[in-house]
Amino acid sequence: MKKFSLWCDFIENTFLDHDFLNLLSLGVNGATSNPAIFKNAILTSPIYKNKIAALKDSKAKEIYEELAIYDIKKAADKLAPLFYQKNDGFISIEIDPRLYDNTALSLGEAKRLYTAIAKENVMIKIPATKASYEVMYELMKNGINVNATLIFSQEQNKQCFEALNQGLIEFRKSQAHLKGNLNTPKAVISIFVSRFDRLLNPKTKKQNRIGILNANLAYNYIVSQNEPNIRALFASTGVKGDDLPKDYYIKELLFENSVNTAPLDAIKAFDWKYDFKKPLNDAEIKTQLDQIIAEDELKQSYDILLQEGLEQFCIAFEEILKTLSDF
């Protein structure tokens, strides 16, 4: 059976009680968060002020986690019916982005957050850095759902899949003696899309295609591994400006059994009347990419975009903590 999943790339406390439920009724079946999303919610929504005031004697990161965990738990409860119907129903929370180069601290924080939230349908979001592949492996091995994030290069994509899959294999081995249906951990590999086009459009012969082609290539690899518990997720699918339809990156990446996590304006523009896209094969993708941009230019963009993504999330996190400290 063909399936396409659309997740909401936004959460906020009051939103979860009203607009989010409307999105679920339309067909949205998951949600994601990141430090930038929490920054916008916590620092702009009045709903958090009383909670922050009540926690004023706590450290800034403790306050942040209290607020974030409360919202993640609420989102998990709203999504639980979908999860138990095996229709996704996942919500992601990212570990402290400043830990991206520290394996031990990342793993410790990931396990601590998962235990504190205590919801089966939570995914722990881990950035795809050299220090983090072991974290992904250990979490899957221990039955914890993972959202591998900030994937730009095909090398990152393959490293993520290998780490997640090896953890999944070890989990299944450890549970082989148990009878009945296992609650086998699930993972998504979040391939970022529109950031390529915003960076490279000025240097390309064809606009707004590189991110799609790069994501298609990553999707092909994941699907070829034939592990249904690890899926491709297309992230960074919002458009900037008025030159493209808001749902452009949703419709262009409507691939079978994929996930698209999109901002609110993209979801609202999507009419749910769609046909699945047929992915291009690897040779077709390479031909098109060669016609659009030099290979060296594309490879250089991988490192640039990863560093920008890590820095943006770290800055957003620091801004949250500073504001909470000054509250």
**Does the annotation count 125 as an active-site position?**
yes
For 49, the 3-state DSSP assignment is helix
Question: Do 66 and 7 contact (CB within 8 A), yes or no?
Answer: no
Question: Do 188 and 230 contact (CB within 8 A), yes or no?
Answer: yes
Pairing of strands 145-151, 122-127: parallel
Kindly state the DSSP code that residue 202 receives in the 8-state scheme: G
Question: Do 4 and 256 contact (CB within 8 A), yes or no?
Answer: yes
How far is Cα 267 from Cα 250, in angstroms, rounded to an integer?
8
Match 């793993």 to its residue by tokens: 107
**Two structure tokens written together for 178:** 């148990």
Annotated catalytic residue, options 78, 125, 141, 186: 125
Cα distances from 8 to residues 30, 136, 169, 239, in angstroms, run 6, 23, 30, 15
**Cα dihedral angle (48, 51, 56, 58), rounded to 10 degrees?**
-100
Question: Do 168 and 229 contact (CB within 8 A), yes or no?
Answer: yes
Q: Which residues are catalytic?
A: 125
